[in-house]
Amino acid sequence: MQTVTSKTTAVSKPLSKLTQRRVLVVAALGGMIATGCLLYGASYFSLASQKAISAVPVSTKATRVTALGRLEPQGEVIQLAASSKGSRVEQLLVQRGDRVRAGQVIAVLDSRDRLQAALEKAKQDVQIAFTKLAQVKAGAKTGEIGAQSATIARLNAELNNAQLEAQRYQTLYEQGAISASSRDSKQLVADTTRAQLQQAKNTLSSVAEIRPVDVTAAEAEVASAQTVVKQAQADLALALVRSPRDGQVLKVHTWAGEIVGDQGIVDLGQTDQMYVVAEVYESDVKDVRMGQPATITSSAFNGDVHGTVKEIGLQIQKKGVLDTNPTADADARIVEVKIRLDKPGSRKVAGLTNLEVTVQIAKEAT
């Protein structure tokens, strides 16, 4: 019995090792098959997902209108210049960055003193004209009238004597006592005295009378003198260069002692409220509407600023802001769109007039 048992045990050991090997092989094959199935399933799922994604339509329509633009103050930049070409600045009363009020004197021209003297002379002429008018309206003085009346009385007496003498000589001539020349000489004296008397009477009438025509002439002289004063005042006002509105001095072109050139004396802008002038391509302007929000960016300031479309141009023109992209069309046709910046944005870019910026205008949802 022991011998049989021993053989049986010896035979069972080799069978157990063989079985283990088969199990390992089967397990390995099973693992490989499972891995293959997993890889195939993942590949199939990925392909199906791609097909599903490609089947969904993707919208490529832009949601913003992009354009280049420039910053400018409200009302654009104005150049304050002298009224006449070739004027010289005597005093410059502002400097770059100063805030000015409407009517404030910016500069004084060298013609001021000369024009001031002309104004004073014109005012004196007005006073003289008024004095003459008063004299005409008052007529002659009482002393002048009395003196002229005395002259008339004297000439009356002389005329009476001359007439009596002429009559006496006429009688003597008729009697043959004197010659005709002696008679004529006495008659001439009488005639001359009579003429002098008439002239004295006429003078008295003109002195005592206030003629309307004389008053009118004197009043015309007063009006003419006053017109000269007004012209002198206007000329003097032009010697003082004033700001037409509130604003900020952006740049000084002419200093004291220099002749005013084509660029004027200073550049002035209302930088409290800034705008962007965006150059929108004519093909995009159809998507721009009043009130649309806009975002403005530039490398010259951090972040971005915001505004609203306030004005859309009415004409097509060539672009004025040059694109840094060498492939950009320099002859492209654009429409100017003005964008009003909000208060924070205006404060942020108040010192950057004429800066080139990039503008993005949000389209209306469709």
Give the mean pLDDT of 239-248.
94
Task: Give the tens place of pLDDT for each residue, 68-94.
Answer: 999 999 998 999 998 887 899 999 999
The structural domains of the chain, with segments of one domain joined by +, span 1-49, 140-209, 272-362
pLDDT at 249: 96
Q: Which two tokens stand for residue 131?
A: 């004095």
Between 146 and 221, the more confident residue is 221
Alpha-carbon distances of 279 from 72, 76, 134, 266, 354, rounded to whole Å = 13, 16, 69, 27, 13
Instruction: Output the CA angle 76-81-85, nearest 5 degrees.
Output: 140
**Which CATH architecture best describes the domain 272-362?**
Beta Barrel (2.40)
pLDDT at 141: 60
Which CATH code, of 2.40.50.100, 2.40.10.10, 1.10.287.470, 2.170.150.70, is assigned to 140-209?
1.10.287.470
pLDDT at 43: 54
CA–CA distance, 273 with 74 (Å, rounded to integer): 6
**Average pLDDT score, the chain:** 82
Alpha-carbon distances of 110 from 119, 244, 264, rounded to whole Å = 16, 21, 15
Task: Give the tens place of pLDDT for each residue, 287-343.
Answer: 999 999 999 999 999 999 999 999 999 999 987 765 555 555 556 799 999 999 999
Instruction: Output the CA angle 160-162-164, nearest 5 degrees.
Output: 70
* Confidence check: pLDDT of 105 > 80: yes
* Confidence check: pLDDT of 366 > 70: no
Is the CB of residue 305 less than 8 Å from the CB of residue 342? Answer: yes
Beta bridge partners, 241, equal 107
Residues 6+ apart with CB under 8 A from 259: 86, 87, 88, 89
Give the mean pLDDT of 108-126.
94
pLDDT at 210: 63
* Confidence check: pLDDT of 35 > 80: no
CA–CA distance, 110 with 90 (Å, rounded to integer): 5
Beta bridge partners, 69, equal 278, 357
Residue 98 in 3-state DSSP?
coil
Percent of the chain with pLDDT over 70: 77
Give the mean pLDDT of 343-359.
95
pLDDT at 32: 62
Query: How would residue 59 be classed by pLDDT, with cut points 50, 70 and 90?
Result: very low
pLDDT at 137: 80
Q: Is the dihedral of CA 252, 253, 259, 260 positive or negative?
A: negative
* Confidence check: pLDDT of 21 > 70: no
* Confidence check: pLDDT of 282 > 70: yes
pLDDT at 55: 41
CA–CA distance, 243 with 228 (Å, rounded to integer): 26
Instruction: Output the CA angle 293-294-299, nearest 5 degrees.
Output: 160
Task: Give the tens place of pLDDT for each residue, 174-228.
Answer: 888 888 888 888 899 999 999 999 998 888 776 666 667 778 889 999 999 999 9
Give, to the nearest 10 degrees, the angle between helix 112-138 and helix 212-238.
Answer: 170
CA–CA distance, 228 with 118 (Å, rounded to integer): 9
Give the mean pLDDT of 35-47.
52
Residue type, 132: K
Which residue from 230, 239, 232, 237 is spatially nearest to 117, judged by alpha carbons?
A: 232
Between 359 and 132, the more confident residue is 359
Given the structure tokens 């354009």, which residue do they identify? 67
Give the mean pLDDT of 84-107.
93
pLDDT at 51: 45
Question: Terminus-to-terminus CA distance in the chain, angstroms?
Answer: 100
Is the CB of residue 344 less than 8 Å from the CB of residue 364? Answer: no
Residue type, 310: K
Q: Which two tokens stand for residue 325?
A: 């992209």
Q: What are phi and psi of 184, to 5 degrees?
A: -65, -35
Q: Which two tokens stand for residue 53?
A: 């994604």
pLDDT at 321: 65
